[in-house]
Chain A
Amino acid sequence: MRQFSATVVSNISLCRDLYRIDFAWDARAVGPAPGQFFTVRVSDSTVPLLRRPFAVSGYASDTRTASAIYQRRGRGTDLLAARQAGERLDVIGPLGNTFPPPKNSQRCFLAAGGIGLGPVLYLARHLVRDGRDISLVFGARTSAGVPAAGTFDGLSPAVCTDDGSQGFPGSAIDYLNTLEPGTFQDTVLYACGPMAMLKEYHAIAATHQCPCYVSIEQVMACGVGACMGCAIRVTTEATYARVCTDGPVFDSGVIVWT
C-alpha cells in the first residue's frame, strides 16, 4: 500500500445514480486486484474529515489506470463527483484482501447490488479473461440505477430492478430464486451489495452447499487495520474482524448475519 497523488483521467456519470472515476495509479504501488479498495481524502478542509473508501472497478495494467463506480450519497461523494479530469486525488491503496479464485472445474455466479457493482464487475472481467464460465446478475432499485450496457463490457448481466422499470422485476435475489437448482451445481458464488442482499445470498449458497464469498462495507476511519473501527461480527474465536484488513472479502459462512 502507498499514499499517492493521482491525476484524474475522467469522472463521468453512468446513469442518474452512478458515476465512474478513472485515475492514474501510482507506478510504485502494486496494481489493485479484484476485491481490493482504496481510500480518498475528498476534502482539503476538515469537513468531511475522514477518507472515503471505494472498491476498484477496473484496472488497466498497460496504462496503469484504475477506476471506481460510485454513488453520490452525501458530502464526500458530492465532492468526489466534482473532481475534473486533470485534477489531483489523494489516494491510499491498494487496501484489503482479494476475491479467492475458483477451483479448477467450478463455474462462477456473481451478484451485484447497487454500489456493489464496481468490485463484482472487476472480478467478472478477470474471470472471463482467465477463460472462466461466469453468470452475472445486477440489481438496482430502479432503472435510474442501471448504467448503459457499454459499462458491462459485453458481459451481458441479468439486470433486475425492484420497481420493475428495467429487466427482471424484483431483486437480484428474487431472480436467483427463479433459477433451476441445478444452476448452482459445482458453482462458487461471489457478491457485493447491501447487507440484506448478502444475507439472502449466503442463505442460497448454504442451501446449495456452494462456497460463497461476499465483499462487505463498513464505516472506516484508518482503512489500514490500526483503529479497530470497521469491525463486523464473525463466528471465529476473535468475535470481530476488521473489514479493512481481514476483508473486505469474507467467506459468507464466517459472518454473523443479523
Chain B
Amino acid sequence: MDLTVTIGNGKLPNPVGVASGTFGYGSEYESLIELSKLGAIYSKAVTLEPRPGNDAPRLVETPSGMLNSIGLANVGVERFLTDKMPFLARQACAVVCNVAGSGEDDYLRVVERLETHPDIFGYEINVSCPNVKHGGLALGTDPVLVERLVRRVRGLTRRPVIVKLTPNVTDITVVARAAENGGGDAISCINSLVGMVIDVGARRPVLPAGCGGLSGPAIRPVGVALTYRVSRAVSIPVIGIGGIMSADDALQYLLAGASAVQIGCATFVDPSIPGRVLSGIADYMTREQIACVQDIRGLLQ
C-alpha cells in the first residue's frame, strides 16, 4: 500500500499531519502520541521576533468548535532553532515550519534563517492568521501580494513551499492560483474562520480582541467545499484542513481533491485521533482495494 504524498521535491511518509498551532513544537505531545507515525508536524507559527500573544482569555468554546485568539504567541525564529528544532530534528516524521510575519520582509528573513537548519522538510507560509493586526489575513486576501511573497520565498529555497490560505475571502481560487503562479508547491486549505462570541450579560465579546479564529468540526463542511474548489483550480497538491475528527472526515477531504490532511483541534479532544485517522484510511484502502492513497482523489462520483 502506498501512503506517500509528494510535495515539490519532497515526500511525506503518509497523508496525516498535525496542524500548526495545535501541536506546539511536538515535544508537548511526546508522551501521548507516537510522533514517528505522523506524516508531518506543522510547527506553531514562527515569526522573526518572539511574540507574547494576545490578552487572556484566548479561548472560548462554540457549538462543535472553538474560537481562539492566540495572536501567534511563539518563541521567535532564533529560539525556535536553538530550543525547539533539536527535538523536532530527532523525530522520524517530516517537520514543516509554519512561517508568519507582519510584512513581506519578515517572512523572508524567517525563511532565510530556517534555511540554515538541515532537518526542515519545508515551509507552510501562513498568509491567513485571523488574530494579528498586520500581515496574516490582510496579506492573504490580496492575490497580488500573495503571488509576490510566494515568488520571493521560492527564490530563497528549494524546499517545498506550502501556502496556507484563509477561507475569509470572496473567491479562494483566485488566491490559490496566485500562490501557484508564485511557485508554491502546495496549498493548505483552510485556516480558521473569523468568528465572535458575545457575553450577553457583560455586553461585550468574550475574547478581548473581539474576534477569533473558528475551528473544529463546525467548519468541516466549509473546509471540504473549499478543498473541492481549490483542487479543481490549481494543479499543485492541496492539503485539506478543518474539523477532521475521524478517518471518514479525512476521506471526505481526500475524495474532494486533497492529497493530504491535517488534524487540528481534534488532537486536543483526543490525542489518539491522528493515529486512528491514518489507520482508518489504510483500512479503507484495503477494503476498497486502493493501492495508492493518491488515487482516492479521482474516486469522487
> Which chain A residues have a beta carbon within 8 Å of chain B's beta carbons?
1-3, 41, 46-51, 90, 92, 218-233, 238-240, 245
A239 contact set on B, CB distance < 8 A? 52-53
Bound form: Cα–Cα A126–B261 in Å: 47
B32 contact set on A, CB distance < 8 A? 1-3, 92, 224
Could you say which of A2, A49, A230, A240 contacts B269, with CB atoms under 8 Å apart?
A49
Q: Is B61 an interface residue (CB 8 A)?
A: yes
A-contacting residues, B229-271, CB 8 Å: 245, 265, 267-271
B270 lies within 8 A of A225 (CB):
no
Q: Is B177 an interface residue (CB 8 A)?
A: no
B270 contact set on A, CB distance < 8 A? 3, 41, 90
A240 lies within 8 A of B272 (CB):
no
Q: Output the nearest chain A residue to B272 by Cβ-Cβ distance.
A: A3
Knowing A3-B32, A222-B267, A240-B53 touch, does A227 contact B68 (C-beta < 8 A)?
yes
| Nearest-Cβ distance from residue B52 to partner chain A, whole angstroms | 4
Q: Is B59 an interface residue (CB 8 A)?
A: yes
Interface of B is mostly: loop
Q: Kindly specify which of B21-29, B144-152, B164-172, B283-291 makes contact with the partner chain.
A: B21-29
- What are 26 A-B interface contacts by the 8 Å CB criterion? A2-B32, A46-B245, A49-B61, A49-B66, A49-B216, A50-B269, A51-B269, A219-B60, A221-B59, A221-B66, A222-B24, A224-B29, A224-B32, A225-B28, A226-B23, A226-B24, A226-B268, A227-B59, A227-B268, A228-B53, A228-B58, A230-B59, A231-B73, A233-B56, A239-B52, A239-B53
B24 contact set on A, CB distance < 8 A? 222, 224-228
Knowing A49-B265, A240-B52, A240-B53 touch, does A229 contact B70 (C-beta < 8 A)?
yes
Q: Is B31 an interface residue (CB 8 A)?
A: yes
B64 lies within 8 A of A219 (CB):
no
Bound form: Cα–Cα A228–B44 in Å: 10
